[in-house]
Structure 1
């Protein structure tokens, strides 16, 4: 299953090097914008400007207080994100109970679900054509707080601190029969998530495309040609196939697509990003490709 990587941040995190994070394989990033009827995140503007400037799939989230007015909370969120939202921007309702229950107090499960529906519909009306989803826990899903069919960003931390590669290799969680679109699998050292789409398909979805790009039909395996085969300037259909697959998995460091059947500096940078995404670091992540990462990329024949 194709996946891509992301993080989310709030005022608790300082300024990030978003371009460096993108180079390391991050494809999407979400920032806290607001909370309740009046709360605003102090670092939202800094975070979201950096996310957008780096070319990541951007998103913002609002921390919910279901025992307050949903339209007032939606209005607070809308005002916070309006200067930055546009085509391809995603919106998320952070629906989680404080440990003392103060933001859920006095509300039934049915009332919370109605509150969520109202918040979502109000935000969707403010940003036509833009995606709106919910971040919530297994307990909230079990309690029926989320309307069916809502895009789900699901937090569950089975290991504590963990690398992206561990989450990518694990089975997709299915809380209460839901199929999450995004899984936040750790909060250490920052909130890390994987999306169950390729980077290209996530960008298309965020931009309003309802169907993901179809996968190539019955791709054939190109045997690993050996490290010495990969020299700059080599021309082969295999190189074009490698180019297309690296773009599809979100490792696009190409400044131009011209002569994509010839190995060049863009291929090197993109493949090194892929090897970092596979969990390699230091010298092990450098060009040329290794057989293990080549096999995982699964180059189709052309």
Structure 2
């Protein structure tokens, strides 16, 4: 009967095969596209999310001799906000993210929206637009139905449309410039029909130029909230000769996103009253 002897090379071959498999796995992990890891989850977008990446860095604003009124904008990632601290520091107005697309409402909306009001601030709500998911009219209705309405109480600002870089995919949401203009018009017209107010448009000049062709047709009715983290606002989108609000930093005190209203507090009240 033949004697079966163990193969002294077999353990070594198994070890080498395992080492090769581990090396291949690590190589694939390092070279795989990063999109899945870096794309944020739906609903996590917020005002100015793409500004640092696409439109400059934080700077100290230079407002010259113009009277400016400090404000902030907040979203769910900031959690419960210390409104009394902000009020004491001179912040007099605030915007809170209410909705995104037709699939998300801010779980901190009540604390943020009502909390700013309760310390004396003039407050408003904003909607993060996702033009690739549903129509402008559908999103405007969703916004109004979930915190984006308006009342003439002297303390409520008109709703704001946050239209900027798409954090989930193509910067212009896969739309042509004319299609984007139509989507925005659909949102604005529906919002005004529901509330009687012209919504504020929040955007950045570079995004507006790329994705709407620098369309000027909304400037006569819709206040401009410009995003630019620098010492000045730079060139404004076509049609607007001045800005109403300016988001100038994402690294301010207490909460990061700080803004200037282009006027004294009585002008903030005027916008609230329509």
TM range (shorter): 0.5 to 0.7
Of the three residues 115, 126, 136, the one matched with 1:61 is 126
Partner of 1:175: 236
- Residue pair 2:130, 2:166 contacting (<8 A) in 1 also: no
Partner of 1:89: 157
**2 CA distance for matches of 1:54 and 1:108?**
43
Partner of 1:14: 79
CA RMSD of aligned residues (A): 2.0
- Residue pair 1:64, 1:103 contacting (<8 A) in 2 also: no
Local SS of the residue matching 1:206: helix
Residue 31 of structure 1 pairs with residue 101 of structure 2: no
- Pairwise CA distance, 1:202: 1.2
Residue 207 of structure 1 pairs with residue 273 of structure 2: yes
Local SS of the residue matching 1:47: helix
- Residue pair 1:131, 1:206 contacting (<8 A) in 2 also: no
Partner of 1:105: 173
**2 CA distance for matches of 1:30 and 1:203?**
14
* Structure 2 portions without partners, runs of 5+: 1-65
Partner of 1:217: none
- Residue pair 1:116, 1:145 contacting (<8 A) in 2 also: no
- Pairing 1:139-178 to 2, within 5 Å after superposition: 139-142=206-209, 143-144=213-214, 147-149=218-220, 150-158=222-230, 171-177=232-238, 178=240
**1 CA distance for matches of 2:188 and 2:228?**
23
Local SS of the residue matching 1:175: coil
**2 CA distance for matches of 1:131 and 1:25?**
27
**2 CA distance for matches of 1:124 and 1:86?**
13
Partner of 2:203: 136
**2 CA distance for matches of 1:154 and 1:187?**
13
Runs of 4+ in 1 over 4 A off after TM superposition: none
Tell me which moved more, 181-190 or 15-24. 15-24
Q: What TM-score, normalized to structure 2?
A: 0.66
- Residue pair 1:37, 1:69 contacting (<8 A) in 2 also: no
- Pairwise CA distance, 1:85: 3.4
Partner of 2:144: 78
Partner of 2:114: 49
**1 CA distance for matches of 2:77 and 2:266?**
30
Q: Deviations over 1:213-237 (max 9, x none)?
A: xxxxxxxxxxxxxxxxxxxxxxxxx
- Pairwise CA distance, 1:20: 2.7
- Residue pair 2:76, 2:109 contacting (<8 A) in 1 also: yes
Q: Deviations over 1:161-194 (max 9, x none)?
A: xxxxxxxxx5553324532211111101410110
- Pairwise CA distance, 1:145: 5.2
Aligned residues: 195
**Higher alpha-carbon Rg:** 2
Tell me which moved more, 196-205 or 146-155. 146-155
**2 CA distance for matches of 1:100 and 1:85?**
30
- Pairwise CA distance, 1:80: 0.7
**Cα pair distance change 1:145/1:93, threshold 3 Å:** farther
**2 CA distance for matches of 1:66 and 1:145?**
17
